[in-house]
Structure formats: C-alpha cells, structure tokens
C-alpha cells in the first residue's frame, strides 16, 4: 500500500464523511481514492474549482457536524492558508493533508522536499493555533491520519498532516488495525439548552463545546475577533481573552499532543534529529554507525508543531553534537538550535535538489 | 408580518449608513422566508466580507460570516453535509464577482441548491468607496478618481451564462417585487441568483454626485425597465435602462440530488 492510500484509509477509519479537493501532484491519489470510496459509505466527495474553495467547503461541512478533510501540496497549501486561519479563529475541526513537494512556487511537482515546515506553522497570518504531524512510513501515515482527526475534534483546531512525496508514494506492506482497535474521538457537544449556549464560552478546559448547524442552536460564526457569544467585538479584554485562549489550547496540552520516537538514544554521544521520510535514512544511518561502533541515536519528532522543545533540550544535555538532516535549508535545524540553548553544537545537513538525503550522507557526517 | 421574529434584536442598531439600501434587501429576504414558512433552525445564512455580508449577524438563523469572496465555498460544504438545510448566501458585488468570481461561476455551473443574493451597489463601500467590477464605465470611486476605464460585469448575465437555473434582478425601489424574486429563488431547487440593486449614497453617491439617498432610489425608478415592458419596445427605445424581473427560470438536475442518486447507484453496485 502507498502512503497516500494509507492516508485515505486512515481518514475513513477515523470517520471521514466529506472530502473537498483540487487536483495537485503528488497528493492526487488521496482525492481519487476518496472519490471512489466515500459515496459507497454514504459520504460525499467534491472536486472544487480551486484550493481556496476546497478549504472553505471543508469548514462549512465540519460546522454541520461531519468529519471533513482536504489534501494538497505546496502551491495549493499556500492558497489554503486564508481559510486555515479562519478554521483556527472560529475553532472548526478539520484536517489538511500537505504532501510536500519541492518549492518555492511551482517548484518540483513530483520530487520530494520538506520545505513547508515553517509554512505549516505560520502560513496563515496572525497568531493562530495549529497542530502539525509528520509521518515517516505508510503504516504511520494511517495512524497519524486517524490521530489528526482525533486531535482536530478534541481541541477544535485545524490539524495538518505534513507528508512528503516519498512517504506519499512509497509502497510498503502494512497490516491495518481492526476498527475495534482504533480509538475515535468526537468533538464535545453542548450539554446546555440553545438559550443558554455560548458558542465561545471560557470553559475550564479552554475548549468550548461545539453545536452542529441545523440542530436548534442557531449561533453566529465569524472570522472576526469575537466574544463568548460568537459576535464581533472590539473590546480589548475580550479580544485578548479569545486570542490567548485559542493559542493556549495547544500550549497547555503539549504533553498530550507531542509525540516523538527514539532509537538508540540511551548511551548516545551524537544525536540525529530527523522527521518524515528523511528519518528513514537517518534510522538506517544510525544502524550503520552503530555497527562501526559510533554511539549515535535518533530523536524523531512525530509531532512537528508544537515543536518538542523539551525533548530536544534533554538530548542537547546528553550529546556532543546534534545532526539535523532535512530536505530544506535548515528549518527544523533552527528550532533544534533554539531548543539546544547553546548546550551542544547543532549541525544542519540540508538538501534542496529534489533528491532524498541518503543514509551514507548522514553516516559520512556522523564520522566527521 | 412580524420582522422581529427573525431578527436578533440585541444586535441593533445595525452598522449600515443612513440611506443605505441593505436594510430594504434584508426585509425583503425576511418577507420571502416568512411566506415560504421556513423554520429558523433549517436556515443557514452565509456571507463573505463587506457591508452586505453583515446581514447574517442580524438574523436569528444559523449564521456564518466567512472570508472575503468565499461565502459560496463554505455554503457548498454546508449544503453537501446536510442537503436538507436551506442555504442562503448574501454577498456584495465585489465579494461575489471580483475576489469570489471563480466560486460564483462554478457554483452556478454545478447547479447546487443555494440561493445567492447579491447586493449590487457598484462600489466597495466598507473599505471606502473603491470601484468594483460593477462600477459603470466612466463612473468614479476612491480608486477611480478620474472615472473608471474598465467595463462592468452584468451580474445577472454572468449568472445566466455560468448556468444558474434561476436569475432575477430587482431594486430596493421596487421592494415588494424584490421579495417575490427572493421567494422564488429560495423555492427553486438549483443555484439561484437575485441581483438586488441597492444604493450606497455615502460612497458611490458622493463620488458620482447622485444626490440624496431618496434621489438614488428614484434613479432606480427612472433607469430600470421591467422585462415585460422591455420586450414590447426596440433596443433603441430601451437605451441604457436596466432590465429587471425574472430573467432565467429553467430546469436542470441539481447537484446534491444527483449526488444522492450517485450514492444510491454506487451502493447498489455492491
């Protein structure tokens, strides 16, 4: 099974019933598969007129209470940013898949890249919450797609599944979990009557319950800064409370949201921080280096945003240097540098020629 | 009828300027809804950005104030997720035909059951009177201080060409006709468009020396002609007059109904 296929399967397993998309390489398989599968389970697929439209349709569908997703790649991801910001401020759960290709602009449509890490976090204007997950295998793509929906529903945020062309197109044998083994989280619905419903109320957990459109609650949703009732406000205290709360939702649940994978870190003297398909090469390089007696370990952020700062700081305390291989000019290396707080040397290993970073390249750097 | 039944009264006073026609369009929408007898819970009112797009905030429905130009895309998601809902989309001329032009023609082409009500005042009012895609040639705005040298869209003709199954053009001067057009548009199963000509005396009127708000209302009286009357005279006699009335009312398969049939067909394939 291909990574893109695993993404579609994961979405269906998570309860997807609406997909809106626009054709773009290398993510098109996701739309193609879902155009075939969704109507079979009574769900709906639509190919919209552009990337902006598909993001808008996903938000509209989610407001009615269905699980909704779109999939794209770099240029399309740029276009979707406007409405991703809307989903963030209006707190509409949704999943956006970006199968990264080389950029900027039209760039390298069929070649791999990891150049959208910063865009995934900061692509839409203003301080806004998003969660970004980066799978490194076909199996993990399935699992993280399910998780993306669960996180979106739980925290009422847009969740970005940041795949890359290699993960999207690689074929691997996977055994998918039985539906009974899959945990599904649904958004919290209001427990109060429509008269008492405050769609953006300050709750103890910072996540207001969400009513479905059409079920009697008749509330207002806007991309303007709003108060607890959902209506626009210019009151500085209310603006402050809204913007701090929607961003705090992520910060206060970092421990739940952040997932990292570790390999051979126990006695490591050199650390490698790698994610997505580059972590596949890094994993191989660590195994090869260990065979040669080099004490090296791998820290793999599965959650890219919020960034696992504490885990990297801990690694920086332990190792003499950290190597960060990635298919961009050092976007995560910068984050690692910040988290390392000068405790250790951080060495970026960058590549932007449309070719993957090989295990040998990483091994060569480990030996230096 | 009791308009208050449909309004969020605590949201008044509204933000519209004195002499603005938007309130007249809003009342026409509410009269149409009242006559059809829709329940407030089954209506979703969606808008984009601009003066007219503040309309949903005053209405006691499920209301969705989206991003600039994108109202129809959100509305498409709402309608597909629950085709039983009645989805009414209010937009301005800039919202619907400039930044949202692509969504407008494709919603029409797809023939999805949405009712698009376009408040056409020939100008970007909220941002300060810049010329819009419907500003007539030679007319002025804050970004057309020497007169616009662009050719305007005819929104109704655009809607028709793109495939809308119902198109009507009315004005706030002919308010009682306007609600009849809106009523038929909502009842129509398919993509329907009502172009409502409405004055912006503060921006468009000021830039073009149109006089008072009531002068602008009377301008609609003098410069429009009903489709029926227009059909009895020659194009030369009609001159520059804007034709009002139900311009398109045709039958075509509707998108969400076709999708339901597709689901049935695919599920029966086994």
| A residues 41-80 closer than 8 Å to B (CB) | 42, 44, 46, 48-50, 52-66, 68
Pick from B65, B77, B262: which is nearest to A222 by CB?
B65
Token readout for B237 is 């006699």
Res. B264: pLDDT tops 80 = yes
Closest residue on chain B to A57 (Cα):
B77
pLDDT category at B118 given cuts 50, 70, 90 is very high
Cα-based distances in Å from A250 to A258, A312, A365 = 10, 19, 35
Q: What is the DSSP letter of A85?
A: H
Thinking of the domain A259-367, which architecture would CATH place it in? 3-Layer(aba) Sandwich (3.40)
Cβ–Cβ gap A55/B73 under 8 Å: yes
Asked if A49 and B262 come within 8 Å (Cβ–Cβ), the reply is no
Kindly report, residue by residue over B29-49, the tens digit of the pLDDT. 999 999 999 999 999 999 999
* Cβ contact A60–B81 (<8 Å): yes
Reported for A332-336, long-range contacts at CB under 8 A and 24+ positions apart, including other chains, are: A332/A114, A332/A117, A332/A273, A332/A275, A332/A301, A332/A304, A335/A307, A335/A309, A336/A273, A336/A312
pLDDT at A335: 98
Number of compact structural domains in chain B: 1
Euclidean distance between CA atoms B208 and A171, whole angstroms: 65
Q: How far apart are CA B254 and CA B258, in angstroms?
A: 6
Q: Which of B42, B63, B74 comes nearest A220 by C-beta?
A: B63
Q: With 90 as the cut, is the pLDDT of residue A330 above it?
A: yes
Q: Which of A123, A149, A147, A124 is nearest to A135 (CA)?
A: A147
Neighbouring C-beta atoms of residue A224, cutoff 10 Å: 16
Instruction: Find, in chain A, the residue whose alpha carbon is nearest to that of B270.
Output: A40
Nearest residue in A to B58, CA atom: A220
For residues B106-110, average pLDDT: 98
Q: Coil, strand or helix: which one is B35?
A: helix
Query: In the 8-state DSSP scheme, what is residue B113?
Result: S
Domain spanning A3-181: which superfamily?
Answer: Thiamin diphosphate (ThDP)-binding fold, Pyr/PP domains (3.40.50.970)
Please check whether residue A261 is in contact with residue A283, taking contact to mean a CB–CB distance below 8 angstroms. Answer: no
Q: Does A172 score more than 90 pLDDT?
A: yes
Q: Where do the CATH 3.40.50.920 domains begin and end in chain A?
A: 259-367
Beta carbons within 10 angstroms of residue B241's beta carbon: 15
pLDDT at B270: 67
Residue of B62, B75, B262 lying closest to A39 (CB–CB): B262
Q: Which of B73, B106, B267 is best to mutate for the A interface (most A CBs within 10 A)?
A: B73
| Chain A residues close to B42, C-beta within 8 Å | 214
B57/A231 CB distance under 8 A: yes
pLDDT digits (tens, 9 = 90+) for A290-325: 999 999 999 999 999 999 999 999 999 999 999 999
CATH number of domain containing B259: 3.40.50.970
What percent of chain A clears pLDDT 90, i.e. is strictly above it? 100
Of B44, B262, B263, the CB nearest to A213: B44
Tell me which H or E stretch contains A322. strand A321-326
All residues of chain A having their beta carbon less than 8 Å from the beta carbon of residue B13 are none
Beta A270-273 vs A296-301: how paired, if at all? parallel
Residue B65 has a pLDDT of: 98
- Are B266 and A40 in contact (CB < 8 Å)? yes
- Please compute the mean of the pLDDT values over residues A315-338 and round it to a whole number: 98
Q: A37 touching B, CB under 8 A? A: no
Q: Where in chain A is the domain with CATH 3.40.50.970?
A: 3-181
The predicted pLDDT at position A60 comes to 98
Q: Which residue of B has its CA nearest to A41?
A: B267
Flag whether the ipTM exceeds 0.85: yes
Distance (Å) from the alpha carbon of A54 to chain B's nearest alpha carbon: 7
- CB pair distance less than 8 Å for B259 and A39: yes
Cα distances from B138 to residues A322, B131, B142, B200, B209, in angstroms, run 65, 11, 13, 17, 13
Mean pLDDT of A67-95: 98
Q: A225 touching B, CB under 8 A?
A: no
Partners of residue B63 in chain A, C-beta under 8 Å:
218-221
Q: Quick check: A184 contacting B, CB < 8 Å?
A: no
Residues of chain B in contact with residue A44, where contact means CB-CB under 8 angstroms, are: 80-81, 259, 263
Share of chain A above pLDDT 70, in %: 100
Domain around B138: 3-268
Partner residue opposite B64 with nearest CB, options A48, A63, A217: A63
Q: Which candidate from B67, B102, B105 shows the least CB-CB separation from A83?
A: B67
Do the Cβ atoms of A231 and B11 come within 8 Å?
yes
The residue-averaged pLDDT of A178-185 equals 96
Q: Which residues of B touch A40 (CB under 8 A)?
A: 266-267
- The per-residue DSSP string of A33-68 comes to HHHHHGGGGT-EEEE-SSHHHHHHHHHHHHHTT-EE
> Who among A55, A64, A221 is closest to B81 (CB)?
A64
Q: Give me the pLDDT at residue A90, please.
A: 98
Q: Does the beta-carbon distance from A221 to B61 stay under 8 Å?
A: no
Which among B64, B84, B263 is the nearest to A39, CB-wise?
B263
- Which whole number is the average pLDDT over B208-230? 96
Distance from CA of B41 to the nearest CA of A (A): 5
CA nearest to A356, candidates A25, A109, A113: A113
């Amino acid at each position: 099974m291909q990574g893109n296929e695993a993404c579609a399967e994961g979405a269906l397993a998570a309860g997807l019933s609406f997909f809106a998309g626009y054709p773009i390489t290398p993510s098109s398989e996701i739309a193609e598969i879902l155009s075939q599968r969704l109507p079979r389970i009574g769900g709906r697929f639509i190919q919209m007129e552009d990337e902006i439209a598909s993001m808008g349709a996903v938000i509209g569908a989610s407001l009615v209470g269905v699980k909704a997703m779109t999939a794209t790649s770099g240029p399309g991801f740029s276009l979707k940013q406007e409405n991703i910001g809307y989903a963030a401020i209006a707190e509409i759960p949704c999943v956006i898949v970006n199968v990264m290709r080389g950029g900027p602009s039209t760039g390298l449509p069929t070649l791999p890249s990891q150049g959208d890490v910063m865009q995934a976090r900061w692509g839409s204007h203003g301080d806004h919450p998003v969660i970004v997950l980066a799978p490194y295998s076909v199996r993990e793509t399935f699992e993280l797609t399910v998780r993306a929906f669960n996180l979106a529903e739980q925290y009422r945020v847009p969740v970005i599944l940041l795949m890359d062309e290699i993960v999207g197109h690689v074929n691997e044998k996977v055994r998918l979990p039985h539906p009974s083994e899959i945990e599904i989280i649904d958004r919290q619905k209001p427990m109060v009557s429509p008269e008492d419903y405050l769609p953006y109320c300050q709750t103890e957990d910072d996540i207001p319950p969400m009513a479905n459109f059409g079920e009697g609650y008749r509330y207002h949703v806007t991309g303007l800064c709003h108060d607890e009732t959902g209506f626009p406000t210019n009151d500085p205290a209310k603006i402050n409370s809204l913007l701090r709360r929607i961003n705090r939702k992520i910060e206060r649940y970092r421990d739940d949201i952040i997932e990292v994978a570790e390999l051979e870190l126990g006695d490591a003297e050199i650390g490698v921080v790698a994610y997505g398909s580059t972590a596949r090469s890094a994993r191989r390089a660590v195994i090869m280096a260990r065979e040669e007696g080099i004490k090296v370990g791998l820290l793999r952020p599965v959650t890219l945003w919020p960034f696992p700062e504490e885990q990297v700081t801990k690694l920086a305390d332990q190792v003499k240097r950290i190597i960060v291989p990635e298919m961009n000019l050092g976007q995560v290396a910068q984050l690692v540098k910040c988290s390392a707080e000068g405790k250790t040397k951080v060495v970026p290993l960058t590549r932007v020629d449309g070719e993957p970073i090989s295990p040998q390249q990483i091994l060569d750097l480990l030996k230096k | 009828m009791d308009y208050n039944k449909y309004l969020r009264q605590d949201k008044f006073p509204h933000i519209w300027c004195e002499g603005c026609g938007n309130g007249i369009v809003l009342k026409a929408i509410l009269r149409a809804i009242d006559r059809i007898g829709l329940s407030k819970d089954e209506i979703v009112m969606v808008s984009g950005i601009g003066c007219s797009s503040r309309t949903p905030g005053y209405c006691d429905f499920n209301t969705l104030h989206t991003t600039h130009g994108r109202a129809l895309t959100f509305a498409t998601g709402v309608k597909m997720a629950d085709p039983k809902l009645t989805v009414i989309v209010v937009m301005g001329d800039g919202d619907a035909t400039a930044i949202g032009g692509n969504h407008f023609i494709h919603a029409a082409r797809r023939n999805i059951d949405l009712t698009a009500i376009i408040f056409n005042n020939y100008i970007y009012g909220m941002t300060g009177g810049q010329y819009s895609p419907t500003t007539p040639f030679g007319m002025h705005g804050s970004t057309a201080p020497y007169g616009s040298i662009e050719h305007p869209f005819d929104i109704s003709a655009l809607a028709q060409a793109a495939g809308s199954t119902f198109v009507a053009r009315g004005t706030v001067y002919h308010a009682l006709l306007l609600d009849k057009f809106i009523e038929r548009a909502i009842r129509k199963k398919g993509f329907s468009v009502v172009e409502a000509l409405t004055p912006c005396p503060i921006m468009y009127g000021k830039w073009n020396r149109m006089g008072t708000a009531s002068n602008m209302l009377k301008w609609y009286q003098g410069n429009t002609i009903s489709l029926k009357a227009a059909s009895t005279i020659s194009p030369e006699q009609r001159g520059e007059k804007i034709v009002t009335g139900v311009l398109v009312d045709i039958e075509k398969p509707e998108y969400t109904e076709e999708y339901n049939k597709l689901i049935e067909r695919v599920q029966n394939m086994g």
